Structure formats: structure tokens, C-alpha cells
Amino acid sequence: MKEKKAINVEVGARIQRSRERAGLTQDALAERVGLEPKSLSAIERGVVGASLSTLKAICVSLHVSSDALLFGTGGENDPRALTAMLSRLTPRQFAIAEDMLKKLLEAFETKEA
């Protein structure tokens, strides 16, 4: 039996945590990225590594950076994760998100005063 590579186990565990945080099942994520569920399961368990195209599709589907999956950086409160999500928006969507964030921050300032 082939021994698992440490990098595959680490990345697979990060993919699983990110998928669970996103509230997706393996079946749902597998469908989004064009994999069979058992292939995604093998990646999450570290049995196999993900190809670059699969890793990219997972990042896009889960709205996480590749750094988060590869290096474990960009935890839940890391602004880089938010930046990655915002960078995928159209200019119109970005303007809406920016307006909402400004209003949210104003509301926070009012409550703290």
C-alpha cells in the first residue's frame, strides 16, 4: 500500500475544514468542481493530491485563497480571505458590497459610542 504524503494529508484536511465551514457536503463540492465524490474524499483524506486545476476550482468554490489551503495561512479572521472573495466580484457587485460594508462599519461605530 502506498504511503500518504504529508503535504497531501495537510492540504486535504484544510480542504475538508473549508468545505465544512462553507456548509457543503462532499457531494455538493465535488459537483461544483467537476469531481466524483469519491475522488474528493480521497483528496480530503490525503490519499491523493489535488491537481492545480482542481485546487483552483476548490478555492473558487469555497471562496478561500490557495495560501489558506496550501500553507494554512489566512484563518477565519484573516482579511486576505475577504479580499479573495471580493476580488471575484464584478465591478457592480463590488460597489454594492463596498456600500454595505461602509454601512455596517457605521452601525458598529454608533453602537460603540
* Ordered domains of the chain (ranges, CATH): 6-88 (1.10.260.40)
- Comparison of pLDDT for 103 and 23, the residue scoring more: 103
Instruction: Tell me which of 16-20, 32-36, 64-68, 73-77 is least confident.
Output: 73-77
DSSP state, 89? S
- Comparison of pLDDT for 77 and 106, the residue scoring more: 106
Residues 40-97 pLDDT 10s: 999 999 999 999 999 999 999 998 889 889 998 765 566 766 776 787 789 999 999 9
Kindly write down the DSSP assignment for every residue of 18-57, as one continuous string.
HHHHTT--HHHHHHHHT--HHHHHHHHHTSSPPPHHHHHH
HSE-CB for 78 with a 13 A CA cutoff? 14
